[in-house]
A and B are shown apart, each in its own frame.
Chain A
Amino acid sequence: MVAALMACERLAAWSVSGKDMGQISNHKNSLSLSAGSPGSINDHAKTVFGNPWLELAARWFLGLTFLYASYHKIIAPAHFAKIVYGYYLFPNFSINLIAVILPFIELFAAGALILGIYPRSAALIIIGMLIGFVIVLSINLIRGQAFDCGCFSFGDPGHSSPAGQLLIRDIIYLIVGLEVLFFDRRRLWCIRDIKGQDRFETM
């Protein structure tokens, strides 16, 4: 896999055309010229969020987080189904299907982010799920509803997860996901990226 990644890196490096190099050079010049000007904050933000190492960190952070999250759901689908039921939002026929399929979507999207296989698509899936979670949590927060069946099979009886904390956490993940989604430069440690392919093809 390491060899594949190195090959990918070399391929991506070769794929940067002369036009792109010119753009990078112009970009550097504009950065140095714009220091202190009204547009400098915007340029600085572009530099920070356009940093490939930040994108890589965001991708791996999100990937590892969702990998971990999916693991617990996959090994205990009945438990997760009860959590889905506990939102009191989904029709009965859909609860088991959500409990079976959703964790694997998380797993595959997480794997794609970590390995760099179609990272933009994977980020889009993760963001879609996070928006769904945020909506669901917000509805339950507004309703003031927290599911607690008082049973051991659900965790500690009398304990329910605070929706507010979960909501803040998911919004943070959402911001990280947006960094991966809107990153428009060459990605590091990437096996297959549509953006990279396009550059190679337009040489």
Chain B
Amino acid sequence: MIIILGLATVTALTVNLISPRGIALFGEWDTARGVITAKPKDDAVSREREIQDIAVAKMLHDSGQAVFVDVRAPGMYEAGRIQGAVSLPLNQIDEGMDDFKAQYPYDTLIITYCSGRECDDSHEAAQCLIGQGYTTVRVFLDGFPGWQEHGYPIEPQTGTSTP
């Protein structure tokens, strides 16, 4: 049994070291620090891009200078989104990129978001947008749940009664 366990451990560490899909031996799993990540070699998560303070995100939203990009699934976007956000689902980002680029110039301040600090899709999308030539892309790490919890404007608006 020790032979099997020993061989498996040595092989695992060796493969992880040389594999392009390998991850760090210790990841970042504390949501207080930002979006969680296993820290793979091609990690899209960048702390520099993250907007940690939700008040800053709200200020940028209110200024009207930033475009909020919702990268969640279309159904989640339809159910509720940050007011004025545009949908660019991560799994359809290549298909939607041409339309997006036609609408927003490369120097637009873009803020991506998804479902919060356990979701790294916003980082993946940010990296993709930077790769396409966008110069100022930030990630709102608390995503839609955090925005909603703070009572900031969302759409479609809930709580309205119909006659």
Contact = CB atoms under 8 A, between A and B. Distances in A.
A21 interface: no
B59 interface: no
A103 B13 CA distance: 11
Contact of A150 (B4, B21, B30, B114): B114
Contacts of A85: 27, 29, 36, 118
B25 A96 contact: yes
A76 B38 CA distance: 11
Given A101-B8, A105-B8, A96 B1 contact: no
Across the A-B interface, the 4 shortest Cβ-Cβ residue pairs: A150-B115, A104-B12, A81-B38, A151-B119
A99 B38 contact: yes
Given A104-B9, A118-B3, A158-B76, A151 B16 contact: no
Nearest to A77: B23
B115 A107 contact: no
Given A92-B27, A96-B38, A118-B1, 9 more contacts: A74-B15, A81-B27, A81-B38, A85-B27, A100-B25, A108-B5, A152-B89, A158-B73, A158-B76
A45 interface: no
Contacts of B22: 77, 100
Interface string B33-77: 000111110000000000000000000000000000000110110
Contacts of B30: 92
Interface in B76-130: 76, 89-91, 114-116, 118-121, 124
The bracket for how many chain A residues form the interface is 35 or more
Interface residues of B, number: 41
B23 A108 contact: no
27 contacts: A74-B15, A77-B38, A78-B40, A81-B27, A85-B36, A92-B27, A95-B27, A95-B29, A96-B23, A96-B24, A96-B26, A96-B38, A100-B13, A100-B25, A101-B9, A105-B8, A108-B5, A109-B4, A112-B4, A124-B1, A149-B115, A150-B72, A150-B73, A151-B114, A151-B115, A152-B91, A158-B73
B69 to A, nearest CB: 14
A153 B29 contact: no
A75 B40 CA distance: 12
A121 B73 contact: no
A199 interface: no
A125 interface: yes
A82 B90 CA distance: 18
Contacts of A105: 4-5, 8-9, 12
A157 interface: yes
B4 A118 contact: yes
Contact of B23 (A78, A118, A122, A158): A78
Given A77-B23, A150-B114, A95 B38 contact: yes
